[in-house]
Amino acid sequence: MTIDARALLPIAERAVTLAADIVTSRLPGAVTAKGDRDMATEVDYAVEHAVRDFLARETPEIGFLGEEEGATRTAQGLMWVLDPVDGTANLLHGIPLCGISLGLTDRGTPALGVIDLPFLGSRYSAAEGHGAHVDGRKIHASQTSDLGAAVIAIGDYAVGIDAEVRNRPRLALTGRLAARVQRVRMFGSAAVDLAWVAEGRIDASVMLSNTPWDTAAGVLIAREAGAVVVDLDGSPHTANAQATIAAGPKILTDLIDLITETNETDKDARHSE
């Protein structure tokens, strides 16, 4: 199916407005455990249901994938991808760093993205080939060229039964970054990380994970703002990427080199145990 993503941006904006109204007008409600220290609230489900139903009416020809209930509508090629509340733990604790992330993918490739940070009053949007904006203002990624001057966000540490193993490279990378960059930050929301890379508030974001609801909107917004988004080895980020690394173009090479060196050192340490 051929589609003009920009023409769908108003529909995506209306869907996210609906979601933001729910998030800001209700308490989180009952918590449903999804795993070890992983949860969803009544608000997560309410947003997903409302956005899914709205998009089904407005764009019945486009599929829908939500974090909480999976793919509830399929279509050839095109898919709405929603994280109803990215940063649920933050929401539960009254930390305003959480957002609604709605992307449109075309055969897995992001074509449109809207991220709303309802407690901060900011909305980021982009359609492929038309730049990125926050609240109607065009935005650009950082042009910082020195890692020593860079503020870099890292993704959450892993939880679950294999968290200790999965966190070894995360902890090693945190240490290497802390020794090299100006500051390391953890905001607890992929939507915040990628939106702020796009706006140039931070110089890079490193997440050693990749799920479509976390990244579909933010990857497109960051790219349209001039950031480079890649996998762990520096190859272009795709739906099948192992990691999600977004950075201003002038520090990307040095950042990838640091990540590669950290991974090799960590592997050598494990092999010697």
Give me the CATH number covering residue 19: 3.30.540.10
Residues of the chain predicted below pLDDT 50: none
Residue where one domain finishes, among candidates 89, 118, 138: 138
Nearest by Cα to 204 from 150, 254, 258, 253:
150
Q: Residues 188, 210, 192, 179: is their CA dihedral positive or negative?
A: positive
Range(s) of the domain holding residue 24: 5-138
What's the pLDDT at 120? 98
What's the pLDDT at 34? 73
157 and 43 fall within a common domain: no
What's the pLDDT at 266? 63
pLDDT tens digits, one per residue of 77-88: 899 999 999 999
Residue where one domain finishes, among candidates 104, 138, 172: 138
What's the pLDDT at 87? 95
Helices and strands (H, E) in the chain, number of each type:
7, 15
What's the pLDDT at 270? 56
Question: Count of domains in the chain?
Answer: 2
What's the pLDDT at 246? 98
133 and 161 fall within a common domain: no
